[in-house]
Structure 1
Amino acid sequence: MQYYRITDIEDPYFRQMHQLMQNVFPPEEVLEYELWAEPLRDPGIRVFVAIQDGEVVGATEYRYYKDLQVAMTDFTIIGKEGLGVGPFLANRRMEDLRAVVSESGGTLLGMFAEIYNPYLSDRLEFGGVKAMNPFVRREVLAHLGYRKLDFDYIHPSWHNDGEAVHGLDLCFMPIADEKIEAVPASLVSSFLEKYYAVLPQKPDAWYEMVQRLKQRETVRLLPI
């Protein structure tokens, strides 16, 4: 299996990856095809696919913020079961991320990730791929070391229409100190403002959520 980076929407593997995203994720979670052109050219955004016999069978996107000393897993997709795509992506992603951190002279406190909460919605099919079932994905994140941040999370729609998307949790995987029980609330709010700066249309509820975080000292890490 090949771990292959995509940096151009003209790459034929990108079309396969985008179709895979549409098959797996709800429409509000998928950025339009043409709007990927600029993010793919950003050296800080790392988009990789798993290729087996010329076919994209998985994908992941992540980024590292040196100023905050944290990373973010944007998404992980398993397109075919029984190939070991999940472990392959997780291991290669961490190898690449550690190399990026080392080359930048930075450190890595931990990694954020969003995860759907199936206890809040029972209509999440995710393309019919069993490995992408939200219950399974939550257990996988838990095994990797992710924990839920203790606040009501709202995320702006990637349609950039100002709509609020509910039913997700924001999680954090401590790396520098795996035993911590909380993170600074300022780290969470700063990360969210930086991460969603690309979306000019954000719902009022999102701004209110960020303001509440800024009034707190810490955010507890809870089991997923």
Structure 2
Amino acid sequence: MAHQFHIFDNGAALADALAGRVAGALADGIAARGAASIAVSGGSTPKAFFKALSSKELDWSKVTITLVDERFVPETNERSNHKLVAENLRVGAAARAKLVPLYHAVADAEDAAMVATGDADRIIRPFDVVVLGMGGDGHTASFFPGGNNLEQALNPKTRRSVITMDAEGAGETRLTFTFSAMQDARLLVLHIEGAAKKPVIDQALAEGAASAFPIGRVIANAASETQIYWAP
């Protein structure tokens, strides 16, 4: 599918613009269907965006937030995306939003993925908003190059919403939404910052569906146009 680039001078300007765009999409979802859903990514990049979005005037009680991916760690862990969202997005008025986790305190990550799939399948779909990130290795969500379940994660015919991923660059075992669950979001965003990531996304876009970078395959094959928000 096609993509659009939105380039900003700095991260603060990007965060403000993206928060406005996302809040508008969530408001549209609430107006049209009485509820809205958003899946967000973790890491350090989205903190300013989360804080800007949390200040937007919305009927947050009608918004469901979930995570694009998660480490198999409890929400008290400093590496938990759940913790990041709870402390930076689900604050103030936005605390009224429902947060659907991927991690569950069960025997192992596979069991957690099954529970998370059941929870995810009760969220209104397609998502109103999905905000992806990208690592320097071209991974997005937990679609890591060399990941043990990478092809299943990227296959548009995969029926499960959440699967596990182990990869050399991942650290802990991951839980991740599959491509099939996210690729038709009404607003599909890639949020990236840093000069070093620009050549990676440029190469991924040039290579398209044949790219060695998972993000290139995601953008090329998604049903929705990807809005790429980048700042150096």
Task: Indicate whether the TM-score tops 0.5.
Answer: no
The higher-RCO structure (CA 8 Å, 6+ apart) is 2
The structure with more strand, counted as a fraction of residues: 1
Q: TM-score, normalised by structure 2?
A: 0.31
Q: TM-score, normalised by structure 1?
A: 0.32
